[in-house]
Amino acid sequence: MPVTVVVGAQWGDEGKAKIIDLLSKEHTYVVRYQGGHNAGHTVVVDGEKYALQLVPSGVLYDHVVPVIANGVVVDLPTLFHEIDTLEGREISCADLKVSTLAHLIFPWHQAHDAIAEAMRGDDKIGTTLKGIGPAYADKARRVGVRAGEVVDLDRFAETVRARAIAENALIEQAGEPPLDVDEIVERFVAYGRRLQPYIADTVTLLHEALARGAQILLEGAQATFLDLDHGTYPYVTSSNPTAGGACAGSGLGPRDISRIVGITKAYTTRVGAGPFPTELLDADGETLIDVGKEFGTVTGRRRRAGWLDCVMLRQAVRLNSLTEIALTKLDILDGFESVKVCTGYRLDGELIHHYPDRSDVLARVEPVYETLSGWRTDLSEVREPGDLPDEARAFLAIVEREVGVPVNVVGVGAERDDYLLWTA
C-alpha cells in the first residue's frame, strides 16, 4: 500500500508543502485532492521561495508527476500563471495532469464569494475571495463545469455563455454590475484550448501507477479544522481536507492508503474568523506572529496565533487516522522563557478532554495549559534529534503523550533541509 496522505492538523499553513517536498523524494505522483487556489504552499530551496496555489508541491522534483485530481476546483488564470512562473524558473510542468472530473472556477464564483461575504456584514467568514465556496456549491447543485469539457471547445463555449448569463442575473439582483459575458467566453475558450493537453483520466492513471508499484503522495490543502463537516462551521472551507476527502478527491480507495501524516506547527495559527481556544492577544501572540512571519501566503493577511492545542490534535488523529505527526516551526519558540501546551479544555468550570462538536461551545472553552521551560537556544542548525536541548525534547514528549502518535519529523527552519528526522 504505497499511498501516503499529508493533511493539515490545525487551521492551515502548518508547513504542509515543506513536508510534502521532503516526502516527494520517495514518491512518483504528488496529487492535490481538494481545495483550489485558496491554498498557499511554500517551499524554500537555497533561498528561492516557491509559493504554490494549485500545482502540487512535488513539482520541484524532476521525477515527480504532479496531478490535480477530481476533488480540486481549478481557477485556470491562476493555474496558467503558476505554470508560466514555474517554467520561467526552469521548473517543468510538462507532466502535469488535470482530472477530467475537476470542476472549474469562473469569475462569477469570485463575484458570489464577495457578495456572500458582504451580506454577512460583521459575521464574515474571512474567505480568500477566490470563489472556492461558490464553485463547490455549483458542483453540489450539479451545474458546475468540469475540466474535461474543454475537449469540445464549441460546446464548452456554449456552456460557459449559458452559465455566465444565468449567473449575471443573480449578480445584478444583488446590486452588483454584471460581468462581461463575451469577454469571459473568449478568455475561457483560450484557457480551455491551453488546458486540453493536461486533461487526463487521473483515476485510471493513479490506479495503473499503483498496480506498477509506484509511490503516490496525496497532498491536502487547508486543514482538518477547516473541513466542511468537521471544522468550525461556518468558519470553514467548502471541501473535505480530512483524510477521507483524500479518497473521494482522488479516486483511490481507503485500503490503498498506508500512511497518513498530520502536519502541525509547534503552536497554532488561524487566518479568517472563527473560534480559536488558545489564541493569544498579548505580547506572546505578537511574538509568534512576528518571529513566525505569520502573514498569509495568498492574501497577505496577518494570521491569528496562540499556543499548541493538543485537544485539537487528538481530534485530528481521530478524524484522519493519523499514523504520525510532522511538527514544523519548532524554531519559532526558541526565544520564549516558557512555552505552553494546551492539554484539555474547561467548559463551564468542568475539565473536558474531547473536542466539542459545536462551534459556539468551542468558542466558550478555556484552555488548560501545561507550562514548560523554554530552551532559549537557536535550533536552526540542529539536525540530529540527539542534539536537541532537553526542554525541546520535553516539549515533543508532551505532544506525543497527549496525541498518542509519534512525531517523526520536526522543522527548524523554512529551507528544504531544515528538519530533523526520527528513523524507526
Q: Which residues bind ligand GDP (CB under 6 A)?
A: 8, 12-18, 40-42, 44, 297, 328-329, 331-332, 411-414, 418
Instruction: Give the C-alpha separation, 331 to 420, whole Å.
Output: 12
Distance CA 176, CA 29 (A): 43
Binding of ligand IMO by 15 (CB under 6 A) = no
Q: Is 37 assigned a catalytic role?
A: no
Per DSSP, the three-state class of 329 is: coil
Nearer to ligand IMO, 210 or 260 (CB): 260
The item of ligand GDP, ligand IMO, Mg ion, none sharing an interface with residue 271, based on CB under 5 to 8 Å by kind, is ligand IMO
> Residue 41 catalytic?
yes
From the list 8-16, 207-215, 261-269, 356-364, the region that binds Mg ion by CB under 5 A is 8-16
Other CB atoms closer than 10 Å to residue 360's CB: what's the count?
9
Residue in 12, 144, 356, 411 binding ligand IMO, rule: CB under 6 A: 12
CA distances from 248 to 38, 138, 238, 263 (A): 19, 17, 14, 20
C-alpha distances out from residue 181 to 55, 153, 173, Å: 28, 16, 16
Which of Mg ion, ligand GDP, ligand IMO, none lies near 414, with the C-beta cut-off 5 to 8 A by kind?
Answer: ligand GDP
Q: Which is nearer to ligand IMO, 263 or 372 (CB)?
A: 263
Set of cell numbers at residue 300: 497577505
Residue 386's contacts (CB-CB under 8 Å, 6 or more residues apart) are none
Q: Which stretch binds Mg ion (CB under 5 A): 35-43, 63-71, 81-89, 332-340?
A: 35-43
State the minimum distance, in angstroms, from the CB of residue 210 to ligand IMO. Answer: 25
Catalytic residue, candidates 27, 37, 41, 230 = 41
Choices 5-13, 69-77, 385-393, 397-405; region in contact with ligand IMO by CB under 6 A:
5-13
Residue 8, beta-bridge partner list: 263
**Chain position carrying cell 504520525:** 324
Q: Is 128 in the site for ligand IMO (CB under 6 A)?
A: yes
Query: What is the distance between the alpha carbons of residues 77 and 187, in angstroms, rounded to a whole number?
Result: 9
Cβ(372)–Cβ(341) below 8 Å = yes
Distance, CA of 417 to CA of 7 (rounded, Å): 20
Is 40 a binding residue for ligand IMO by CB under 6 A? The answer is: yes
Binding site for ligand IMO (CB under 6 A): 8, 12-13, 38-41, 125-128, 130, 132-133, 221-223, 226, 235, 237-238, 271-272
The residues assigned a catalytic role are: 13, 41
